[in-house]
Amino acid sequence: MSSVIEQARYSCALAAQQTVLAIPGAHPIVHAGPGCSAKVSGFATTNAGHQGEGYAGGNIVSSTNSCEQEVVFGGETKLRSTIDGALRVLKGDLFVVMTGCTADIVGDDSVNIAREFAELGKPVVGVETAGFKGNSYFGHDLVVNAIIEQFTGDVPAKPRKGLVNVFSIVPYQDPYWRGDIEALKKLLESIGLEAHILFGYQAKGAAEWKDIPNAQFNLLVSPWVGLSTVSLLKEKYGTPFLHYPVLPVGAQETSAFLRAVAAFAGIAEPVLAQVIQKEEDRFYQYLASLVDFLAEFRNNLPTELYTVADSAYALGTSSFLVNEIGFIPKGVYVTDGAAESHIRPITQALAERDQTLADLLVFETDGGLVQQDMRKKLGKSKKALFLGSSWEKVLAQETNNLYAFVSLPLPETVILNNTFVGYDGGLKLVEEIYSNVFKVKTTTSRTQFIIDE
């Protein structure tokens, strides 16, 4: 790490233990010092809407808890013992050995040790995820690629028409991940595709990962996370991929998303048109019912938009709220630490939706610097909506403005299967924003007047 940042929005590469836990029947085995796994879990469960530890998660993740002895003499013996114990005690279809900083600094060959078990027929994968190597997003890609290389393996591809593997947001790092991937699955199934979403309660665990080579194509719904994965799959199995860089939120983007997927998959136009017509009619009828509310409370509703989130959510939500709801963009802050090589494509993707939004893009991982810039642009305005995390809630309360949650950290809300993806997701986001008007301010009556607390 070259500098210290304020108000961090992600954890280290070891946070990808949550990626493993998001696969039904999979378990992480952590080779790291005491507390590493627990701290990661605290950030990605409690601070991601209290999503729960699940089976073999949280404080019961299998770990070597390496101490002074392992630092001095090496921890490979203890790691072998921990893997062997996990295989004996835990019921699972996949075990992923992950390393923290200590193990990688002292040079323990954890990947080779995992391979020893794999050669005995055990479903064990090894990957080096020391925190100093990168953040949560980087660690996610490392783990996904390692599972494909070592568990899915070198097998002949037998493409099955209509089957698509979906790669998108990072489990837990996106606090709405469960609902998001289920929404994507529902959208794809609506036009006749079979979708492997790989993570969450509707995924089929190890069986889906073994079936990855047989997809007609792979779908990446993300600005940059997962690009290395779909490229690997193309090289390994010859599977083509469609890269859709913006998370579909609301009617315009979701319909565009379905058109792009249908064209790539070779789905007949009449089938697609029928689905889009039905969903758009429904969406705009619901949206039209909001007109009375907007008219009556217009003097008290926010009009200026500041978004602070990772690239997936920042692009999708900002585009929807500006282009379909009519917010005036003031700042779009991308906090996921995207590499320099990804900045131009991300900016271009947003420019294709709205050039003004693209001009306002700021790539910044330091939350303190983000809020400095927001304060400067805000001035004395009381008409702003801060779309972000609990950090933005604090700023909203201080400046008497409105807030809504879309990114970590979020320790003060409970998330089960909420989502802002798709047609219904856009409606849900609108509900969330305007309901907060009554939660953070006090109304005297339905007379267009709200008294600030």
| CA-closest candidate to residue 416, choices 183, 179, 169 | 179
- Give the pLDDT score at 55: 82
In a domain, 276, yes or no: no
d(CA 189, CA 451): 46
How does residue 337 score in pLDDT terms, banded at 50, 70 and 90?
A: very high
pLDDT at 320 exceeding the cut of 60: yes
Task: Mark 368-397 as b/e (b = at least 16 C-beta within 10 Å).
Answer: eebbeebeeebeeeeebbbbbbbbbbebbe
- Give the pLDDT score at 441: 63
CATH number, residue 299: 3.40.50.1980
- Please check whether residues 412 and 441 belong to one and the same domain: yes
In terms of residue numbers, what domain contains 96? 13-152
| CA-closest candidate to residue 56, choices 96, 87, 90 | 90
d(CA 298, CA 160): 52
Judge if the upstream peptide bond of residue 409 is cis by omega within 30 degrees of 0: yes
Tokens of 14: 């070891």
In a domain, 307, yes or no: yes
- What is the mean pLDDT of the segment spanning 48-62? 88
Q: Per-residue pLDDT tens for 197-225?
A: 999 999 999 999 999 999 999 999 999 99
pLDDT at 442 exceeding the cut of 70: no
Using a pLDDT cut of 90, give the percent of the chain over it. 88
pLDDT at 175 exceeding the cut of 90: yes
- Give the pLDDT score at 201: 94
- Give the pLDDT score at 448: 46
In a domain, 6, yes or no: no
| CA-closest candidate to residue 199, choices 214, 183, 231, 177 | 177
In a domain, 17, yes or no: yes
Q: Do the beta carbons of residue 161 and residue 193 sit within 8 Å?
A: no
- Please check whether residues 377 and 440 belong to one and the same domain: yes
How does residue 418 score in pLDDT terms, banded at 50, 70 and 90?
A: very high
- Please check whether residues 296 and 439 belong to one and the same domain: yes
How do strand 450-451 and strand 442-443 relate by DSSP bridges?
Answer: antiparallel
- Please check whether residues 17 and 144 belong to one and the same domain: yes
Which amino acid would we find at residue 194?
Answer: E
In a domain, 278, yes or no: no
Rounded to the nearest 5 degrees, what angle is found at the Cα of 398, between the Cα atoms of 392 and 400? Answer: 95
Contacts of 92 (CB under 8 A, 6+ apart): 25, 26, 27, 56, 123
- Please check whether residues 419 and 369 belong to one and the same domain: yes
Rounded to the nearest 5 degrees, what angle is found at the Cα of 404, between the Cα atoms of 331 and 376? Answer: 30
52 Rama class: left (phi>0) / alpha (psi -120 to 50) / beta: left
Mean pLDDT (the chain) is 94
Last residue of a domain, one of 117, 152, 187: 152
Cα radius of gyration rounded to whole Å, the chain? 23
In a domain, 345, yes or no: yes
As a residue count, the chain comes to: 453
pLDDT at 140 exceeding the cut of 60: yes
How does residue 449 score in pLDDT terms, banded at 50, 70 and 90?
A: very low
Q: Per-residue pLDDT tens for 323-333?
A: 999 999 999 99
Q: Do the beta carbons of residue 366 and residue 388 sit within 8 Å?
A: no
- Please check whether residues 200 and 236 belong to one and the same domain: yes
Q: Per-residue pLDDT tens for 220-272?
A: 999 999 999 999 999 999 999 999 999 999 999 999 999 999 999 999 999 99
| CA-closest candidate to residue 347, choices 339, 9, 355 | 355
- Please check whether residues 395 and 431 belong to one and the same domain: yes
In a domain, 245, yes or no: yes
Domain count, the chain: 3
Last residue of a domain, one of 213, 244, 271: 271
d(CA 125, CA 276): 42
- Please check whether residues 307 and 442 belong to one and the same domain: yes
Last residue of a domain, one of 152, 186, 208: 152
pLDDT at 53 exceeding the cut of 70: yes
- Please check whether residues 164 and 148 belong to one and the same domain: no
- Exposed, middle or buried: residue 410 (CB in 10 Å: 0-12, 13-18, 19+)? buried
281 vs 59 pLDDT, higher one? 281
- Please check whether residues 376 and 393 belong to one and the same domain: yes
- Please check whether residues 17 and 131 belong to one and the same domain: yes
- Please check whether residues 24 and 105 belong to one and the same domain: yes
In a domain, 5, yes or no: no
- Give the pLDDT score at 2: 58
d(CA 121, CA 105): 29
